[in-house]
């Protein structure tokens, strides 16, 4: 494609990178990424994908901006309290990069709408805040053969992984076979979260999404990153495909999304 003079200036630091260059920047501008959640993880994720020039970013979230969000959800502002988060995301992105189109879904992600929502996207980034949604996204990505970049945060800790079972790697259920019972693991609203930790993990998540779109570096498929902010440590552990996995195993029990009723 022919870049405009403004685009050459905007993406100059990308174009200088041999691993990206003009060809890579064109890939980014043509890419379509779906972000689930415009909260603590989604905020830096959406901002950096937009700044990088990912051409179409779908954002699905049914919440409105609340004062308690602003300690970590840097996508939003005090002036936009009460606004739908997807509309706030749209306002933030338009202020950063006019090259980027935000497709806003002001709705809850469910088993009934997820396939239609995901259909138009190349890659999915999960920034949701509950296990039911994470399992739903993972299962839907498996059936649609879409790459999933997933992150999670709580208190001072974060985790990050990429799931590509369509290429032979493990799926989310290989690591978490069953959804935890209600109340077993506290939410950020119950246990708290250091705001900057969400920034760390959301930015790492954005980096992995960009790497997947560009096809560069070593991805996080088959690996799990564990970040401990208090100890200032990051470790990466190997995650293998589970032959007994109910979703992607040799004798799968889950054949479709019918088990997700909400």
pLDDT at 179: 85
**Which pLDDT tens digit goes with each residue over 52-78?**
999 999 999 999 999 999 999 999 999
- DSSP states along 94-115: HHH-TTPEEEEE-S---TTTHH
pLDDT at 185: 76
**Which pLDDT tens digit goes with each residue over 84-116?**
999 999 999 999 999 999 999 999 999 999 999
Largest CA distance in the chain: 55
| Residue ranges covered by each domain of the chain | 31-238
Tens of pLDDT, residue by residue, the chain (262 residues): 799 999 999 999 999 999 999 999 999 999 999 999 999 999 999 999 999 999 999 999 999 999 999 999 999 999 999 999 999 999 999 999 999 999 999 999 999 999 999 999 999 999 998 999 999 999 999 999 999 999 999 999 999 999 999 999 999 999 999 888 777 777 777 889 999 999 999 999 999 999 999 999 999 999 999 999 999 999 999 999 999 999 999 999 999 998 786 5
The answer, as to whether pTM is greater than 0.85, is yes
HEC per residue, 126-195: ECCCCHHHHHHHHHHHHHHCCEEEEEEEEECEEEEEEECHHHCCCCHHHHCCCCCCCCCCCCHHHHCECH
What is the rounded distance in angstroms from the CA atom of residue 218 to the CA atom of residue 92? 31
Rg, C-alpha atoms of the chain: 18
pLDDT at 262: 55
**Class of 31-238 per CATH?**
alpha beta
What is the rounded distance in angstroms from the CA atom of residue 202 to the CA atom of residue 142? 22
pLDDT at 47: 98
Sequence-distant (6+) residues with CB within 8 A of 142 are 163, 165, 166, 171, 247, 248
Q: Answer whether 227's CB lies under 8 Å from 109's CB.
A: no
């Amino acid at each position: 494609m022919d870049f405009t003079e403004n685009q050459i200036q905007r993406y100059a630091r990308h174009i200088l990178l041999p691993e990206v260059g003009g060809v890579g920047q064109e890939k980014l501008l043509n890419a379509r990424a779906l972000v689930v959640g415009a909260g603590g993880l989604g905020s830096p994720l959406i901002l950096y994908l937009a700044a990088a020039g990912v051409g179409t970013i779908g954002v699905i979230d049914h919440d409105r901006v609340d004062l308690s969000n602003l300690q970590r959800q840097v996508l939003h502002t005090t002036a936009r309290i009460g606004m739908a988060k997807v509309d706030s995301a749209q306002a933030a992105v338009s202020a950063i990069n006019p090259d980027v189109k935000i497709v806003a879904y002001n709705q809850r992600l469910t088993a009934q709408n997820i396939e239609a929502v995901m259909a138009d996207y190349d890659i999915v980034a999960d920034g949701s805040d509950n296990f039911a949604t994470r399992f739903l996204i993972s299962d839907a990505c498996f059936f649609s053969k879409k790459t999933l970049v997933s992150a999670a945060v709580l208190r001072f800790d974060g985790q990050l992984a990429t799931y590509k079972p369509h290429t032979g790697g493990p799926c989310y259920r290989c690591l978490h076979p069953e959804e935890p019972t209600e109340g077993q693991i506290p939410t950020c609203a119950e246990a708290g979260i250091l705001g900057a930790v969400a920034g760390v993990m959301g930015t790492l998540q954005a980096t992995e999404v960009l790497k997947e779109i560009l096809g560069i570096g070593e991805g996080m498929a088959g690996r799990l990153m564990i970040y401990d902010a208090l100890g200032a440590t990051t470790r990466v552990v190997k995650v293998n495909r589970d032959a007994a996995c109910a979703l992607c195993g040799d004798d799968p029990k889950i054949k479709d999304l019918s088990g997700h009723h909400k």
